[in-house]
Amino acid sequence: MHNLLKVLPIHQLNRIAFALLIFLFACEKEPGLPGNGANDNLELIDTLSFRSYTVLDDAKDALNEADIALGRLEDPRFGESIASFYMQLRLGILDFETGANPVLDSAILVLTIEDIYGPLENPIDWEVYRLTESLTTSEVYKSDEELSTDMTLIGGRNAFVYNEEQTLRIPLTQSFGEELLNLFGSTETENNDNFLAYLNGLYVTLNPNSGGDGLFDLDISNDNTQLELHFSSDNPDDSLYVFTTGIQALTVNRYQHDRVGSELETAINDLSNDDETLLIGGLTLSKGVIELPDLSFLSGNIINQARLSFYQADYGDALNTDYDNPEFLFLTGKIANDSSQYFLSDYSTSEPTAYGGTPELIDLNGNPTIQYAYNLPRFIQRYVNGDTEISSLNIEVLNFNNGNRVKLGGGISPDFPITLEILYSKP
């Protein structure tokens, strides 16, 4: 292996440590390209062809992700995706006294809405269940994993339609609220370890038979995310108790996909490795693979510029009004028979715009469309010289906890093919 830089699991790239890791990797990159592009014998190649195809994305580590998605997406391109999550609750106040003869008025799960995705015009039926296994940082939880729950409904809200609320309030059952209220004064509420041993957590999801045409991006660590017990007793000063979440409460994302009848199902079942389109979807749904052409004929030349471009194949479709394109598509290297991903030598957080990957509206042969372009002269120089084992590329959504999706033209697309423009010169 020739000085390759391995990519960490994608979920870690979304965290604060990502910037530091990239900086450290950047320090190991190859020095600048030889030559400065000022030669008089510059030549351009822009007629290269590619083989490309869509693959299912791998399930990702789902514990304590910064973004918690909740909702349902469905379109004929990607099929159905449902986002749910598991969450712990913690005691807000220790040694709390309810007063004599407490009577529950209501129990409500309050979730802070940080952002939304999709039109969210259809009514949704929310459901809450009790988690029957403990969450722990010593376990690895994957985003497609179903944890053990008691399937007795302990909360729900039917026919919810979003109306720009800042919180999603889900009523819990009277019996579950009374169960929690009656815990005060017992050993279960002496400390958080005892409480978590009693209540492992909650599973928040939606009825798949209800509507839904969008996702909520929730901030579980927000102070307003909590379980509220409203009650009355002989102590008029105490009528509310709050179970909190915060940064110490563990969460696990869960994503379910049904591709039956969708374009994605057709693409996945196409074994030719030469697709006309690439379907890139978040929520660990799908990504694209691009096989690099043979460029050995350029060996010995100086790569001054190299620009790899992808174009949206269905720009203007009504579905794109409902479901926005990704704000950034991540391009990484892939080695044959190796499931790891590798940074390309051009990627750097110090000059992110120089690398590319953000959408830009352009005119392509009289057709308006979105372009995702990447500047890769360092990598192409290494590839031409035979100094890398990378033979194909992955293109995918970086923040997999978001529902963003896009349909790109593949290598054999007649109108929106993948293009690689190389400006080179002789030494």
Question: 98 and 238 in one domain?
Answer: yes
Read off the pLDDT of each residue in 6-28 and give the average, rounded to a whole number. 40
Q: Please give the structure tokens belonging to residue 254.
A: 């869960």
25-to-152, 316, 356 alpha-carbon distances in Å: 49, 39, 18
As a whole number of angstroms, the distance between CA 243 and CA 341 comes to 41
Q: What integer pLDDT is reported at residue 181 of this predicted model?
A: 96
Q: What integer pLDDT is reported at residue 354 of this predicted model?
A: 86
Read off the pLDDT of each residue in 241-265 and give the average, rounded to a whole number. 95
Read off the pLDDT of each residue in 221-239 and give the average, rounded to a whole number. 89
What SS3 class is residue 195? helix
List strand residue ranges (DSSP E) for 225-326, in order.
226-232, 240-244, 251-258, 277-281, 286-291, 302-311
Question: 9 and 148 in one domain?
Answer: no
> Which helix (H) or strand (E) segment is 381 a member of?
helix 377-385
Question: 213 and 168 in one domain?
Answer: yes
From the CA atom positions of the chain, what is the Rg in Å? Answer: 26
Residue 169 counted as domain residue: yes
Residue 354 counted as domain residue: yes
Residue 67 counted as domain residue: no
89-to-108, 177, 197, 198, 334 alpha-carbon distances in Å: 13, 14, 11, 11, 41
Residue 107 counted as domain residue: yes
Question: 175 and 314 in one domain?
Answer: no
Read off the pLDDT of each residue in 40-57 and give the average, rounded to a whole number. 91
Question: 277 and 151 in one domain?
Answer: no
pLDDT at 12 over 50: no
Residue 269 counted as domain residue: yes
Q: How many distinct structural domains can be found in the chain?
A: 2
**Residue 18 identity:** F
As a whole number of angstroms, the distance between CA 205 and CA 149 comes to 12
Of 196, 227, 258, the domain-final residue: 258
Question: 144 and 26 in one domain?
Answer: no
Beta bridge partners, 342, equal 6, 333
Identify whether the C-beta of residue 409 lies closer than 8 Å to the C-beta of residue 277: yes
Question: 268 and 245 in one domain?
Answer: no
- 98 Ramachandran zone, left/alpha/beta (phi>0; psi -120 to 50): alpha
Which value, to the nearest 10 degrees, does the dihedral of the CA atoms of residues 392, 398, 402, 403 take? Answer: -30
Q: What integer pLDDT is reported at residue 40 of this predicted model?
A: 59
Question: What band does 7 get if pLDDT is binned at 50, 70 and 90?
Answer: low
Nearest to 328 by CA among 284, 282, 362, 283: 282
Which value, to the nearest 10 degrees, does the dihedral of the CA atoms of residues 42, 44, 50, 54 take? Answer: 90
Of 217, 233, 258, the domain-final residue: 258
Question: 175 and 91 in one domain?
Answer: yes
* Residues with Cβ within 8 Å of residue 284, at least 6 apart in sequence: 57, 58, 59, 60, 143, 144, 255, 400
22-to-26, 307, 347, 350 alpha-carbon distances in Å: 6, 22, 9, 9
Question: What band does 36 get if pLDDT is binned at 50, 70 and 90?
Answer: very low
Nearest to 400 by CA among 253, 290, 190, 273: 253
Place of tokens 């802070």: 112
pLDDT top residue among 5 and 74: 74
The one-character DSSP state at 131 is E
Residue 69 counted as domain residue: no
Q: What integer pLDDT is reported at residue 349 of this predicted model?
A: 73
Question: 318 and 220 in one domain?
Answer: no
Identify whether the C-beta of residue 295 lies closer than 8 Å to the C-beta of residue 303: no
Question: 47 and 118 in one domain?
Answer: no
Alpha helices per DSSP H over 192-326: 192-198, 263-269, 318-322
Domain span at residue 329 reads 5-59+260-425
Question: 100 and 28 in one domain?
Answer: no
Average pLDDT along the chain: 89
Nearest to 54 by CA among 327, 322, 420, 313: 313
Of 203, 238, 258, the domain-final residue: 258
pLDDT top residue among 321 and 207: 207
Convert the pLDDT of each residue in 130-164 to its tens digit: 999 999 999 999 999 999 999 999 999 999 999 99
Read off the pLDDT of each residue in 264-274 and give the average, rounded to a whole number. 90
Question: 400 and 274 in one domain?
Answer: yes
Q: Kindly report the pTM of this predicted structure.
A: 0.88
Largest interatomic CA distance in the chain: 91
Residue 73 counted as domain residue: no
Residue 356 counted as domain residue: yes
Identify whether the C-beta of residue 285 lies closer than 8 Å to the C-beta of residue 264: yes
Q: Please give the structure tokens belonging to residue 87.
A: 């969450």
What SS3 class is residue 229? strand
HSE value, Cβ hemisphere, 13 Å, CA-based, for 271: 0
**What is the CA 81 to chain-centroid distance, rounded?**
12
**Residue 358 identity:** T
